């Protein structure tokens, strides 16, 4: 690539500067980086809430937090971790990495992706502003009716929770659609379905689960707000409604949600293991099939959250079977990973350490999960600290540990510098020991009868010692996370400069500079095999530069669109220019959402600015129009009449 | 430009304070004027120029939890028996604009504590002052006197009347001279 | 080397946690006193040791995978084929174990429901925000006994609990006897209990139900049939008439102040249903839903300022004079 | 892509494409799946609530059929102009597209007006009981889609009457028609739920 073309690309794809410019960015790396940082800040906030809870529970009948504040804090902890950290963080990694891994210049719908981020950001700010003005939700992250209903949930607390759900699931849905279309239509030529990296497979399966699960909780939270503000009777038992309808709607989303959090973590592990074991992943096809199987079965086992509500026993036994069946694909994945590690003596750098930590913790979480699948045992341990231990072993052990592995693994790509190795080891060991000290005693607490979400417990129950141990563990784990922060800040300044491919990995994101330029690749790569970079190196050991695509205009934001199955070049299209309108639409939509808590008239009135902003977003500017005309009539060819018959059939 | 910023700042602070107050859970604070206040005159007919009552702002009127407690007590003390859900029956309607013994919080408080002729029992010593002030706040919300975001929504029972939250604010009229219903 | 140390810490942690602090406990699922809790306890130990075995095997496979082999392994087809067979075997074993768990669960489940019998004692349970209302059902209305936060059951005889909630969702759970069952507004859920050995079995609400969810406990007292019948007859009688002057004055205060608006004492004209029934308050061990021992000081503290013990509960605070307060306490302590 | 040469020239490829080859088609499909799941869940809740009461509809007459059937006919008929201007768009025939869009706007106004009468003919208010709530929410959700797609069509029509005509514009018009098919097809189960189920179950 000659310098002149590189300069032209640089100038065409440059991201706007300045304060206002910040809100106009549309490139997936700038939006993805903000997404990751915002989600991590909410992770820290959720962690602080967890520490406050642990301090209150350290001693029987502690008075550090009163019941009202404790209930708000445990709800904020659950809501922040599940809706503001876990799902957005996994999607953020997808937004940053998937376009790079499939060899595209940008995500499919860049402005829609930016809109999704701003809705998520404004939703998070809205929740925390309401929390600090005393309106923090206090009905749990599941917000069961009738406690969250109009009669027993006075004030606006339950509405704040329900509206936050509307924010986060709108953001998740929008980003999920962008990710799916990116993977289906913008892959580099040659990347057929069986050459897609496993991390990208995981993100696609997650995106599909989001698209099918999130609308259910959107409907549920809308019905709850209608019940509370407009006087409908969805959940009013006296007027034909049913309190269990809320539980069904919530958990039909709830269980896929926890797999939405877990499956990207399996993708991270499948991306890290080949690099550190220096061999191709063992069992690519079984791993992909396991991902898809987990995605499907996840929708069939939500009633195991409701085993104690007296549903007919035949229904419960079906869900027991489904809950146990889902352990098979997960087991297959673990066996394939161990087979990948077999005999390779991997380099134990921080990413690999966190993956090994994942194996240790997730196994305990998975096995207790299988125990919880049985109705009779679940009747004893449901809604006790045994379940708190299980969920933290699968969420922290199963998702946060691989996430930290991913942070260390992709930190050179995002920041251009290597993360500190020694601090990395300290961070890992403190988190591993702190995590196990905090949550392993909770299995015992649950079996000794300590229910969940209690702000205090009587002295004579025999729970004091284990709770104190858990609190100490919590302090150690917090120290571990603090070390991670220190490591990040230190490495940003003094870390050694990381080249294009510090770990000698195989996926395409390592084929460009770190951090990648706003146009990702100097020239679009052509994929030769499943492990793109390794195959290129072996295949072209002798000849010149690896195969690339030419003919994509450098003076316009033009990208190559390829077919779904075999990623053969199909046509070219223009990516939209940076624009302020996605941000303004997000602000208008937030105004509508927040206003509708206080008066139903905010919906029709608020819809006007939203419509205006969306129309302005869509309306092509003169510049965009001229660019499109030029791109479509490139080299004097009139817009190709749709000769190919294949396009006709799709009415 | 900074005047606009000031206005927005002030608006946000007042909003924050309002929502702070609306959401506070006052478990054991006894409200001001909780002592039996017998300085309340029922009638506007007084020798000389009529002196207005010493108006008393009950703190429960901005507190959503206290008003919902008032609603719970309104049902468990069987006020429903005579006043129904505000529509009235044996007792007068509480959701309309007509008030015989005054609509101000201190008037309603003394009506509950003193009792009234034609059937209103006296609840002196039968309910604590905190409970009485909570019921007062709820009774005033039935005719829409309270802010919309403080008044309670519908309850999980048969849907008899519009929730206090969506009740239009009535302009109270004290018909002391008129023959009480 | 490092992974070896981690394997040791895992084994150490596991044994310390499970055996160290023992299985006894005031409210423990591992200390069964009834047939159902015993069956679930057996299922628990079966699953625990199987899963511990699976955990040990997989972790040792991982450790072996880390230690074995050369830096640059040859990915020849032969090892790949062998590896595929091992992984397939692993998945097959996983499926078999899961199937075994499922069958054992179904068998245990059937046993849990086999207690249903016609001559069981039927108790109607109504959950309120933050206390339990129990009513022993009887075909003769006058024999029905209503009590709060404490129930007595005869040893060895099944008890049927027909449960519903009057406000939010609660969950009835006494770990020593059986698993939990939710109390749902607008639904009636049923559960069966039986105690095989006499004793006091504490239970607690297990579904988050608001401010004082943490202090919504109850006690199930299992006793031989003779003691149970004696208790039941006493409960059936209305409250004893006040004997001495102090108690009469206490009763007069009870009737003239706020107490009669919410509480019921059978045999007097205090008939409030929105608070625990006090006809035989003195015969109970605890007050405030299992939070405070039933002593004179606790009762006094509870009446004067209940928010100090359970902030947010529905019992109002009272500023009675000392002498009125003592008379009231005398009366309440006479309600055997 | 059988043989591998060091560079692959794609400069000859067209600048836009219709149908499932375009990104917009997949984005619209994503939108449909999301809305479709929400409608399916709402109808699922409708059937769940049906199971909670002995007789259906509880304490109310079933909605009058007249306006519902009329609107269904108008909706079904509105598919015709959509097919017409979708084909014209794929032929890049601007004149026909402009006329087709205007006709579909007339249809859109027609069924939004009829929809107002439908709401009045439901014979139940959303605060009456759970049946009323779920019926109003079902009809309300579908009406939101009618209005949003009506605004989409108006904006596209306005664009087609400006001088900013390009290939991508025609693709957007084609996808708008494609989304309109979803709004019509989604109406059928909702129509059955609101108007027919109260009479059958």
Interval C241-276: pLDDT, tens: 888 888 999 999 999 999 999 999 998 988 888 999
Q: Which residue has the higher pLDDT, A62 or B4?
A: A62
Helices (H) and strands (E) in chain B — how many of each?
Answer: 5, 2
Interface mutation target, options C131, C166, C252, C258, chain B, most CBs of B under 10 Å: C258
* CA–CA min distance B69, chain C (Å): 9
Confidence band for B179, pLDDT divided at 50, 70 and 90: very low
Three-state SS at C163: strand
Q: Is the pLDDT of residue A540 over 70?
A: no
Question: Which of B27, B76, B127 is closest, CB to CB, to C274?
Answer: B76
Domain chopping of chain D, boundaries: 20-200
CB proximity C70 to A under 8 Å: yes
Interval A19-32: pLDDT, tens: 999 999 999 999 99
Q: What is the distance, to the nearest Å, from the Cα of residue C46 to the centroid of all Cα atoms in its chain?
A: 23
> Cα(D39)–Cα(D34) distance, rounded to whole angstroms?
9
> Cα(B148)–Cα(B151) distance, rounded to whole angstroms?
6
- Contact between A408 and A349 (Cβ < 8 Å): yes
> Cα(A307)–Cα(A318) distance, rounded to whole angstroms?
11
Which pLDDT does position D66 carry in this prediction? 94
- Contact between B67 and B113 (Cβ < 8 Å): no
Confidence band for A453, pLDDT divided at 50, 70 and 90: very high
pLDDT, mean of residues A526-539: 82
Which chains, if any, share at least 3 CB pairs under 8 A with chain D? Answer: A, B
Q: Per residue of chain D (201 residues), what is the pLDDT tens digit? A: 333 457 888 888 888 899 899 999 999 999 999 999 999 999 999 999 999 998 888 888 999 999 999 999 999 999 999 999 999 999 989 999 999 999 999 999 999 999 999 999 999 999 999 999 999 999 999 999 999 999 999 999 999 998 888 888 999 999 999 999 999 999 999 999 999 999 987
pLDDT, mean of residues A109-120: 97
Q: Cβ contacts (< 8 Å) between A238 and chain B: which residues?
A: 156-159
Interface mutation target, options B71, B152, B153, chain A, most CBs of A under 10 Å: B153
Q: Is the pLDDT of residue A326 over 90?
A: yes
Q: Is the pLDDT of residue B87 over 90?
A: no
Count CB neighbours of C237 within 10 A. Answer: 12
Interval A131-179: pLDDT, tens: 999 999 999 999 999 999 999 999 999 999 999 999 999 999 999 999 9
Three-state SS string over A301-352 comes to: CHHHHCHHHCCCHHHHHHHHHHHHHCHHHHHHHHHHHHHHHCCCCCCCCHHH
Q: Is the pLDDT of residue A543 over 70?
A: no
Which chains, if any, share at least 3 CB pairs under 8 A with chain C? Answer: A, B
Residues in CB range of D4: below 8 A, 6 or more apart: A526, A528, A547
Q: Is the pLDDT of residue A566 over 70?
A: yes
Cβ pair C211:A380 closer than 8 A: no
Residues in CB range of A277: below 8 A, 6 or more apart: A340, A341, A344, A346
Q: What is the distance, to the nearest Å, from the Cα of residue A415 to the centroid of all Cα atoms in its chain?
A: 20
Q: H-type helices in chain C, by residue range? A: 2-15, 35-67, 77-112, 225-236, 245-256, 259-262, 296-304, 322-333
* CA–CA min distance B61, chain A (Å): 12
Q: Is the pLDDT of residue A424 over 80?
A: yes
Q: Which residue of D has its CA nearest to B158?
A: D129
Which pLDDT does position C319 carry in this prediction? 85
Q: Which residue of C has its CA nearest to A309?
A: C182
C136 bridge partner residues? C123, C145
Cβ pair A550:D90 closer than 8 A: no
Reduced DSSP (H G I as helix, E B as strand, rest coil) percent helix, strand, coil of chain D, to 5: 75, 0, 25
Question: Which of D9, D11, D18 is closest, CB to CB, to A647?
Answer: D18
pLDDT, mean of residues A427-447: 96
Which token pair is A300?
């069939």
Which pLDDT does position C4 carry in this prediction? 47
Which pLDDT does position B25 carry in this prediction? 87
pLDDT, mean of residues A96-125: 96
Interval A494-523: pLDDT, tens: 989 998 999 999 999 999 998 999 999 988
pLDDT, mean of residues A217-236: 95
pLDDT, mean of residues A422-442: 96
Q: How many CA atoms lie within 13 A of A452 on its CB side?
A: 24
Q: Cβ contacts (< 8 Å) between B68 and chain A: which residues?
A: 151, 154
Cβ pair D131:A219 closer than 8 A: no
Burial classification of residue C266, based on how many CB atoms lie within 10 Å of its CB (0-12 exposed, 13-18 middle, 19 or more buried): middle
Element (H or E) spanning A212, and its range?
helix A198-229
Question: Which of A134, A150, A598 is closest, CB to CB, to B154?
Answer: A150
CB proximity B158 to D under 8 Å: no
Question: Which of A130, A151, A598 is closest, CB to CB, to B155?
Answer: A151
Q: Cβ contacts (< 8 Å) between B157 and chain C: which residues?
A: none
Q: In terms of CATH architecture, what is D20-200?
A: Up-down Bundle (1.20)
Alpha carbon dihedral C83, C85, C87, C89, in 10-degree steps, equals: -150
- Low-confidence stretches of chain C (pLDDT < 50) are 1-4, 15-21
Using alpha carbons, select from C99, C6, C12, C103 the residue that is nearest to residue C59: C6
C287 bridge partner residues? C292
* CA–CA min distance C172, chain B (Å): 22
Three-state SS string over D28-80 comes to: HHHHHHHHHHHHHHHHHHHHHHHCCCCCCCCCCCCCCHHHHHHHHHHHHHHHH
> Cα(C253)–Cα(C274) distance, rounded to whole angstroms?
19
Interval C207-246: pLDDT, tens: 999 999 999 999 999 999 999 999 999 999 988 888 888 8
Instruction: Return the DSSP state at C219.
Output: E
Interface mutation target, options A139, A142, A376, chain C, most CBs of C under 10 Å: A376
Using alpha carbons, select from C233, C236, C187, C183 the residue that is nearest to residue C208: C183
Encode A566-600: b = buried (16+ Cβ within 10 Å), e = exposed.
ebebbbbbbbbbbbbbbbbbbbbbbbbbbbbbeee
């Amino acid at each position: 690539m000659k310098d002149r073309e590189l300069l032209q690309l640089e100038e065409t794809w440059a991201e706007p500067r300045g304060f206002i410019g910040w809100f106009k960015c549309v490139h997936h790396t700038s939006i993805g980086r903000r997404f990751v940082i915002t989600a991590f800040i909410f992770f820290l906030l959720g962690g602080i809430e967890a520490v406050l809870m642990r301090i209150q529970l350290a001693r029987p009948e502690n008075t550090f937090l009163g019941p009202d504040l404790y209930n708000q804090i445990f709800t904020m902890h659950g809501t922040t971790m599940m809706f503001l950290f876990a799902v957005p963080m996994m999607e953020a990694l997808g937004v940053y990495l998937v376009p790079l891994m499939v060899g595209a210049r940008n995500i499919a719908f860049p402005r829609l992706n930016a809109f999704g981020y701003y809705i998520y950001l404004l939703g998070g700010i809205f929740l925390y502003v309401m929390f600090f003005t005393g309106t923090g939700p206090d009905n749990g992250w599941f917000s069961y009716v009738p406690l969250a209903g109009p009669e027993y949930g006075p004030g606006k607390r339950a509405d704040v929770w329900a509206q936050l759900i509307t924010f986060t699931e709108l953001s998740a849905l929008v980003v999920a659609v962008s990710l799916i279309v990116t993977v289906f239509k913008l892959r580099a030529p040659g990347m057929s379905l069986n050459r897609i990296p496993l991390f990208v497979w995981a993100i696609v399966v997650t995106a599909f689960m989001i698209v099918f699960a999130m609308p259910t909780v959107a409907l549920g939270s809308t019905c709850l707000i209608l019940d509370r503000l407009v006087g409908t009777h969805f959940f009013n038992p006296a007027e034909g409604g049913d309190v269990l309808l809320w539980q069904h709607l919530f958990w039909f989303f709830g269980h896929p949600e926890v797999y939405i959090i877990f499956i990207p973590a399996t993708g991270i592990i499948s991306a890290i293991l080949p690099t550190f074991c220096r061999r191709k992943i063992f069992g690519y096809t079984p791993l992909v099939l396991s991902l898809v199987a987990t995605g499907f079965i996840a929708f069939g086992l939500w009633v195991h959250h409701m085993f104690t509500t007296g549903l007919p026993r035949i229904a419960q036994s079906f869900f027991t079977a489904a809950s146990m069946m889902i352990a098979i694909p997960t087991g297959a994945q673990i066996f394939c990973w161990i087979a990948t590690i077999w005999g390779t003596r991997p380099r134990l750098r921080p990413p690999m350490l966190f993956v090994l930590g994942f194996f240790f913790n997730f196994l305990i979480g998975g096995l207790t999960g299988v125990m919880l699948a049985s109705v009779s045992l679940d009747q004893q341990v449901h809604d006790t600290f045994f379940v708190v231990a299980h969920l933290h072993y699968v969420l922290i052990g199963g998702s946060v540990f691989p996430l930290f592995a991913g942070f260390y693994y992709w930190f050179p790509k995002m920041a251009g510098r290597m993360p500190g190795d020694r601090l990395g080891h300290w961070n890992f060991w403190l988190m591993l020991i702190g995590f196990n000290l905090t949550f392993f005693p909770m299995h015992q607490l649950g079996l000794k009868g300590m229910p969940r979400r209690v702000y205090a417990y009587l002295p004579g129950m025999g729970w004091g010692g284990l709770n104190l141990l858990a609190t100490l563990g919590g302090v150690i784990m917090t120290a571990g996370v603090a070390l991670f922060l220190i490591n990040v800040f230190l490495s940003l300044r003094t870390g050694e400069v990381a080249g294009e491919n510090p770990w000698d990995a195989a996926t395409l994101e390592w084929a460009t500079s770190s951090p990648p330029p706003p146009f990702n690749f100097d020239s679009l790569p052509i994929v030769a095999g499943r492990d793109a970079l390794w195959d290129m190196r072996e295949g072209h050991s002798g000849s010149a530069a690896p195969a690339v695509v030419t003919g994509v205009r450098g003076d316009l934001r033009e990208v190559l669109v390829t077919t779904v199955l075999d990623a053969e070049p199909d046509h070219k299209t223009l990516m939209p220019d940076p624009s302020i309108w996605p941000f303004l639409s997000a602000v208008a939509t937030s105004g509508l959402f927040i206003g509708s808590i206080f008066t139903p008239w905010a919906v029709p009135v608020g819809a006007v600015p939203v419509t205006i902003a969306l129309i302005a977003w869509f309306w092509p500017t003169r510049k965009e129009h001229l660019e499109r005309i030029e791109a479509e009539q490139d080299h004097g060819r009139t817009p190709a009449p749709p000769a190919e018959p294949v396009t006709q059939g799709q009415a | 430009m900074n005047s606009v910023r000031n206005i927005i700042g002030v608006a946000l602070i007042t909003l924050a304070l309002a929502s702070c107050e609306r959401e506070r859970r006052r478990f054991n604070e006894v409200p001001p004027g909780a002592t039996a206040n017998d300085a309340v005159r029922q009638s506007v007919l007084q020798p000389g120029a009529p002196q207005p009552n010493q108006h008393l702002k009950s703190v429960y009127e901005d507190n959503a939890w206290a008003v919902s407690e008032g609603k719970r007590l309104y049902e468990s003390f069987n006020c429903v028996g005579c006043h129904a859900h505000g529509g009235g029956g044996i007792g007068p309607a509480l959701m309309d604009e007509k008030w015989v013994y005054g609509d101000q919080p201190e008037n309603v408080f003394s009506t509950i504590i003193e009792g009234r002729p034609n059937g209103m029992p006296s609840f002196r010593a039968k309910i604590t002052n905190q409970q009485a002030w909570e019921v007062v706040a709820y009774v005033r919300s039935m005719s829409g006197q309270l802010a919309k975001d403080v008044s309670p929504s519908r309850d999980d029972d048969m849907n008899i009347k519009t929730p206090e939250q969506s009740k239009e604010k009535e302009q109270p009229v004290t018909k002391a001279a008129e023959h009480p219903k | 080397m490092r992974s070896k140390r981690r394997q040791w810490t895992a084994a150490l942690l596991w044994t310390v946690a499970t055996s160290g602090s023992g299985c006894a406990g005031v409210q423990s699922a591992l200390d069964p006193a009834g047939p159902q809790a015993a069956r679930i306890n057996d299922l628990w130990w079966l699953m625990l040791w199987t899963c511990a075995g699976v955990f040990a095997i997989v972790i040792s496979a991982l450790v072996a995978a880390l230690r074995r082999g050369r830096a640059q392994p040859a990915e020849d087809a032969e090892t790949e084929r062998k590896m595929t067979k091992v992984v397939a075997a692993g998945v097959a074993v996983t499926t078999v174990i899961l199937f075994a768990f499922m069958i054992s669960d179904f068998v245990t489940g059937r046993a849990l429901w086999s207690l249903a019998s016609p001559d069981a004692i039927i108790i109607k349970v109504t959950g309120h925000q933050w206390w339990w209302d129990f009513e022993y059902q009887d075909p003769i209305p006058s024999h029905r006994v209503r009590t709060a936060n404490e129930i007595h059951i005869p040893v060895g005889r099944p008890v049927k609990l027909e449960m519903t909630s009057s406000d939010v969702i609660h969950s009835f759970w006494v770990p020593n006897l059986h698993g939990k069952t939710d109390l749902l507004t607008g639904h009636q859920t049923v559960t069966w209990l039986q105690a095989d050995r006499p004793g006091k079995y504490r239970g607690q609400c297990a579904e988050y139900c608001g401010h004082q969810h943490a202090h919504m406990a109850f006690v199930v007292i299992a006793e031989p049939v003779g003691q149970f019948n004696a208790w039941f007859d006493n409960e059936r009688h209305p409250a004893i008439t006040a004997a001495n002057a102090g108690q009469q004055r206490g009763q007069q205060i009870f009737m003239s102040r706020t107490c009669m608006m919410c509480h019921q004492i059978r045999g007097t004209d205090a008939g409030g249903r929105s608070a625990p029934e006090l006809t035989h308050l003195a015969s109970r061990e605890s007050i405030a839903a299992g939070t405070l021992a039933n002593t004179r000081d606790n009762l006094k503290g509870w009446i004067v300022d209940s928010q100090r013990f359970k902030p947010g509960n529905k019992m109002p605070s009272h500023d009675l004079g000392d002498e009125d307060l003592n008379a009231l306490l005398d009366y309440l302590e006479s309600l055997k | 892509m059988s043989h591998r040469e060091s560079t692959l020239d794609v400069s000859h490829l067209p600048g836009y494409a219709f149908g499932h080859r375009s990104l917009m088609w997949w984005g619209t499909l994503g939108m449909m799946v999301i809305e479709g799941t929400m409608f399916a869940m709402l109808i699922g809740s409708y059937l769940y609530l049906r199971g909670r009461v002995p007789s259906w509809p509880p304490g109310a007459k079933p909605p009058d059929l007249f306006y519902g059937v009329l609107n269904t006919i108008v909706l079904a008929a509105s598919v015709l102009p959509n097919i017409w201007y979708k084909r014209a768009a794929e032929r890049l025939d601007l004149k026909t597209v402009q006329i087709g869009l205007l006709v579909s706007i007339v249809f859109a106004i027609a069924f939004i007006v009829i929809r107002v009468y439908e709401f009045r003919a439901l014979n139940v208010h959303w605060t009456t009981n759970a049946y009323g709530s779920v019926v109003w929410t079902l009809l309300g959700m579908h009406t939101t889609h009618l209005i949003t797609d009506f605004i989409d069509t108006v904006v596209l029509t306005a664009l087609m009457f400006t001088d900013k005509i390009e290939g991508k514009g025609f693709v957007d018009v084609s996808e708008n028609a494609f989304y309109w098919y979803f709004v019509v097809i989604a109406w059928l189960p909702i129509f059955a739920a609101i108007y027919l189920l109260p009479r059958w179950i």
